[in-house]
Structure 1
Amino acid sequence: MPRSYWCCTAMRRSLWQSAMRITSSFGSSLQGVRYYANRMETRGRQPMSGSTSLPTRTADRGPLQRSSLRDDAARVLRARIVGGELEVGRLYSIGEISAELGTSPTPVREALLELANNGLISMVRNRGFKVTEMTDEDLDHLVAIRMMLEVPASAQVAAMHPVPDLADVKALCAEIEDAAARGDLTTFLAVDRDLHLALIGKLGNPRLTRMVGELRDQSRLYGLGPMLDTPQMAESAHEHTLIVDAVEAGDADETARLVEKHLSHIRGHWSAHR
């Protein structure tokens, strides 16, 4: 073979090994995260039967009503893990969670396998699952990476010409402010995830969107619970509207400033160390 062939092969191998090292630094595998990329393209945001809003905190403990029970179960469980409603160290049974969500064990089991692939939980064979513990150092590293990714990505959306259609993101801003007003933490967290990923998704880079989604899922925002029904909760919700307004105005610098301020809450009053 020509020498150039072997040089290119060695270079490709080196780049692949570097990419794998970078991926492993995020603390969990990117395998098994097809869910969000597919959902952004095919699911849209179909309302629940007989309702135009997302499930409330009470409804999240009642029967699921969306078309995909597995996706719905994953969405609810993910929000409850991030918000601290599902506690670290406690063993939860699939039957217990299925009963709370009013569905059969099968979609719950499938949802849990997805969350396990993303490092949010660990499965205990024939017994159930436990929420993965995150140390303060883990959370500091996560926030640092999120700052590196989400701040410039959001600013890049604002710098797009023309500015992309933001109707879906604006609708999510209204939903999250409504959830804050109702004191609905589970919906607040679920819509918060949807909103940020929808905004970054305007760049058309599904790998970036999946990576940011996975990092967000590993965050722990235990301080939000005590903030329910307080002005701080409403202010936190309204920050999303300010960010989207800056994007719509094409102000990349202001967008970057607002997103950085927003993410700084993760290790501030949103964290409430346990």
Structure 2
Amino acid sequence: MRRSSIRQIRVEESLRAKVESSLAAAIISGELEQGALITVPALAAQFAVSATPVREAMLDLEKRNFVESVKNKGFRVTTVSTEDLRELVEIRTLLEPPAMRIAADYLKGASLDTYRTLADRIVTNLEQANFKGYLAADSAFHLSLLELTGNGRLVDIVSELRKQTRMVGLTRLHDTDGLRRSALEHHELLDLLGEGRGDAAQALMTRHIGHALGLWAGVAEDATS
């Protein structure tokens, strides 16, 4: 049974932050569809928390352009156009793939255990349809590789770009071979980095990011793409 990103959370954790991250994961993955109308009381009941942290989380998401307020009704999940998504992919492609050459210099012959653990979590969470866990592990994996460049601004910029990227194909296609192959690309990337093959790692990262316009957007790709 598919696990929902919208589920009860522990009281001792930061309610506002946890509600926001859960809703963001649901929106990014398409679990909450674009154009869907959501209300604070309904969400508060689902999370089993008061309305205050939910309302605060929704206002934060509105600042991130994930939702827009609808007078006397609640909030509507915003729609990201194909052109918006294409621009995000183009910027990420300019920034992330070249960094893999630097990562390859650092990781050639080095232990990859930490990165392997994150790559395993990506695959496992996708198979379990735990989209919040999938997105968290995926972000940690990519950003940890970028940290090897020593450029904090690069990491921050890519982190923000990732937060704006929608992957609405996850909920509909999470159990398909194509999406599983895209998840396994993280292990393939580590193989290349461990061998010091920076150029090949750069090419793979370029293809991987391109899934944002294909598989992750719910658009079929050729098996060879």
What TM-score range do you get, normalising by the shorter chain? 0.7 to 0.9
Q: Report how far residue 167 of structure 1 moved.
A: 4.2
Q: Deviations over 1:176-211 (max 9, x none)?
A: 111123233343233222322232233343322222
Give SS of 2:106's match: coil
Q: Does 1:174 find its partner at 2:91?
A: no
Residues 120-135 of structure 1 mapped to structure 2, 5 A cutoff? 120-124=66-70, 127-135=73-81
Tell me the SS of whatever aligns to 1:159. helix
* 2:38 counterpart SS class: coil
5 Å matches for 1:94-113?
94-113=40-59
Structure 1 residue 158 and structure 2 residue 104: aligned? Answer: yes
Say which SS state the counterpart of residue 58 (structure 1) adopts: coil
Residue of structure 2 in register with 1:198 after alignment = 144
Aligned partners of 1:74, 1:191: CA distance in 2, in Å?
17
- Aligned Cα root-mean-square deviation (Å): 2.7
- 2:8 is aligned with what amino acid? P
* Unaligned stretches of 5+ residues in structure 1: 1-55
The partner residue of 1:119 within 61, 65, 81 is 65
The 3 A distance-change label for structure 1 pair 74 and 168 is farther
Which of the numbers 223, 234, 238 marks the counterpart of 2:169?
Answer: 223
- Structure 1 pair 202–117 and aligned structure 2 pair: CA distance change class (3 A): farther
Looking at structure 1, the residues matched to 63 and 114 of structure 2 have their Cα atoms a distance apart, in angstroms, of 29
- The total of aligned residue pairs comes to 218
In the TM superposition, 1:25-174 aligns within 5 A as: 58=3, 60-65=5-10, 67-124=13-70, 127-160=73-106, 166-174=112-120
Matching residue within 189, 204, 209 for 1:243:
189
Partner of 2:223: none
What is the deviation of 1:166? 4.9
Max radius of gyration: which structure? 1
User: SS at the partner of 1:95?
Assistant: helix
Q: Aligned in 2, Cα 1:62/1:151: closer, same or farther, shift over 3 Å?
A: same
For residues 126 and 201 of structure 1, the distance between their equivalents in structure 2, rounded to whole angstroms, comes to 44
2: CA distance between counterparts of 1:100 and 1:206? 37
Taking structure 2 as the reference length, what is the TM-score of the superposition?
0.82
CA deviation string 1:207-241 (max 9, x = no partner): 22222122122222222223222222321211111
- Give the TM-score of the pair, scaled to structure 1: 0.69
CA distance, structure 1, for counterparts of residue 51 and residue 196 of structure 2? 47
Please tell me whether the aligned partners of residues 185 and 228 of structure 1 are also in contact (alpha carbons under 8 angstroms): no
Q: What's the CA shift for 1:262?
A: 0.7
Classify the secondary structure of the residue corresponding to 2:75: strand
Cα 1:167–1:204 shift into 2, 3 Å: farther
Matched residue, 2:180: 234
Q: Which amino acid aligns with 1:64?
A: I
Q: Give, as a single letter, the amino acid of the residue that structure 2 aligns with 1:60.
A: S
